[in-house]
Amino acid sequence: MNALLAIAGMLASGLIAVGTGFCLSAAVGVTRFPDVYTRLHAGTKCLTAGTLLILLGVAILEGSWPASGKILLIAAFLVATNPIAAHAVARASYRQSPTHPSILVDELHGKPLGKAEKRGEA
């Protein structure tokens, strides 16, 4: 039984370490990427994956069904709300200022942006 607990502990520690790495890469992406859309991508994808891995590791470490059920509810809430929040932020950003210098085509309206529109002069 001790060997099984040791394996579970190592597995949980590995999941928590990998999840922490994902969260760190999300933090680096949010600070280093140039515009709001790529920052949102890093913030939602990497942070969701990292948090889910950390929660899975904690569930394995805890080992009880009631705690694992609560962790499962937290994970479901995170998976349900994170994309919705990212979509709301992206939509607000687009409505505020749809053009960024790195964006060449406005795919929402299906038109290429001219030089004046790229600079925000139009």
Structure confidence at residue 110 (pLDDT): 66
How many domains are contained in the chain? 1
50: containing domain: 2-119
Say what percent of the chain tops pLDDT 90: 51
Structure confidence at residue 99 (pLDDT): 61
Q: Which residue has the higher pLDDT, 55 or 5?
A: 55
The secondary structure element, H or E, covering residue 105 is: strand 105-106
**How does the average pLDDT of the chain come out, rounded?**
84
Please state, in angstroms and rounded to a whole number, the distance separating the CA atoms of residues 121 and 116.
5
Structure confidence at residue 116 (pLDDT): 47
Please state, in angstroms and rounded to a whole number, the distance separating the CA atoms of residues 34 and 49.
22
**Smallest Cα–Cα separation from 22: which of 52, 60, 58, 65?**
52
Max CA-CA distance within the chain? 70
